[in-house]
Amino acid sequence: MSSADAPDQEPAPPEAEERPAVRLLVDEEAVQGRVAELGAELRADYQGVEPVLVSVLRGGVVFLADLVRAAAMPCLVDFMAISRFDASKETGVVRIEKDLELDLSGAHVLVVEDIVDTGLTLTYLLRVLAARGPVSLRVCALLDRRARRIVDVPLSYVGFEVPDVFLVGYGLDLDERERGRRELLAVDDLEAVRADPTLLDLPTRADDAWRPSRA
Ligand code: 5GP
Ligand code: MG
């Protein structure tokens, strides 16, 4: 029998659509646009006072560096380093590895955070800072991942609300690396990226990215 008589071969099922290991979540232009807006808001809100901007090492440093330039206002900057006491327990109790050098009594304090996730670290930190007698204590977070919040913590300024996926870039690390990337990447498959970090090298412009409103 000739092969012509054979029933038509079923077309091969389309390849199961592969989920990319990494997606571009916020591109550089969108990050910079939003940081410029936050800076302008801070400049307006802190007119006539010289706030102390407190940055939590290490993730928040890239955001802080751009934010102070965007705000272009009189302010002081100081740094803290903290580590979770017991990473296995989500208690939020942290050890202060490096304390601030500035005195916060009578100061307007703005904590500048990269991302607020469970809110446990920040809640603990705010309690510590509040005990030092600032006249005001607010938080400016670039990223807010509300889906994972355990403790409600008031955020006065937020750059972007982000989904529950591991983020890398713009200060956020992947095993202490990649903090210098100008965009924010969502890593859906950490093991794939650990095996092949070039997966992070995506086109750096997102067509559907959020853009700052231009007045
Ligand atoms: P939490 O709010 O759960 O107490 O802790 C937030 C801290 O965990 C952030 O300041 C940041 O250092 C780290 N973190 C949370 N989410 C991410 C993420 O998606 N990527 C990276 N690299 N760090 C994160
Ligand atoms: Mg942080």
The least confident of 11-20, 80-89, 161-170 is 11-20
**Cross-strand bridge partners of residue 35:** none
| pTM for this entry | 0.87
Which comes out higher in pLDDT, residue 24 or 202?
Answer: 24
Query: In the predicted model, what is the mean pLDDT of the chain?
Result: 89
Average pLDDT of the residues in 44-50: 98
Does ligand 1 lie within 6 Å of residue 25's CB atom?
no
In angstroms, the Cα distances linking 35 to 7, 11, 68, 92, 191 are: 62, 50, 10, 28, 31
The torsion angles phi and psi of 90, rounded to 5 degrees, stand at: -85, 65
H or E stretch covering 65: helix 61-71
Q: Which of 100, 86, 88, 24 is nearest to 55 (CA)?
A: 100
Q: Tell me, what's the pLDDT at 203? A: 75
Q: Tell me, what's the pLDDT at 84? A: 74
Q: Pairing between strand 184-187 and 22-26?
A: antiparallel
- For residue 134, pLDDT beyond 90: yes
Which comes out higher in pLDDT, residue 43 or 15?
Answer: 43
Q: Which of 100, 32, 109 is nearest to 66 (CA)?
A: 32
Does ligand 1 lie within 6 Å of residue 107's CB atom?
no
The answer to whether 145 and 116 are in contact (CB under 8 A) is yes
The answer to whether 82 and 56 are in contact (CB under 8 A) is yes
Centre of ligand 1 to C-alpha 120, Å, is 10
Ligand nearest to the CA of 54: 2
Centre of ligand 2 to C-alpha 105, Å, is 23
In angstroms, the Cα distances linking 182 to 12, 103, 144 are: 41, 33, 18
Centre of ligand 1 to C-alpha 85, Å, is 15
What span, in angstroms and rounded, lies between the C-alpha atoms of 70 and 99? 26
What is the residue with the minimal CA distance to atom 8 of ligand 1?
Answer: 117
What span, in angstroms and rounded, lies between the C-alpha atoms of 99 and 79? 7
pLDDT class of 210 with cuts at 50, 70, 90: low
Say which DSSP state 58 is in. T
Both structure tokens of 6 = 């054979």
Q: Tell me, what's the pLDDT at 90? A: 65
What is the residue with the minimal CA distance to atom 9 of ligand 1?
Answer: 115
Which of the following is catalytic: 117, 144, 164, 207?
117
**pLDDT 10s digits, 135-170:** 999 999 999 999 999 999 999 999 999 999 999 999
- For residue 49, pLDDT beyond 60: yes
**pLDDT 10s digits, 85-117:** 665 566 667 889 999 999 999 999 999 999 999
Residue 175 is a catalytic residue: no
Ligand nearest to the CA of 57: 2
pLDDT class of 58 with cuts at 50, 70, 90: very high
Does ligand 1 lie within 6 Å of residue 115's CB atom?
yes
Does ligand 1 lie within 6 Å of residue 118's CB atom?
yes
Average pLDDT of the residues in 173-177: 96
- For residue 192, pLDDT beyond 80: yes
Q: Tell me, what's the pLDDT at 25? A: 95
Does ligand 1 lie within 6 Å of residue 119's CB atom?
yes
Both structure tokens of 87 = 């990473």
What span, in angstroms and rounded, lies between the C-alpha atoms of 215 and 213? 6
- For residue 83, pLDDT beyond 50: yes
Q: Which of 144, 145, 184, 163 is nearest to 28 (CA)?
A: 184
Q: Which of 55, 51, 73, 72 is nearest to 64 (CA)?
A: 55
Does ligand 1 lie within 6 Å of residue 186's CB atom?
no
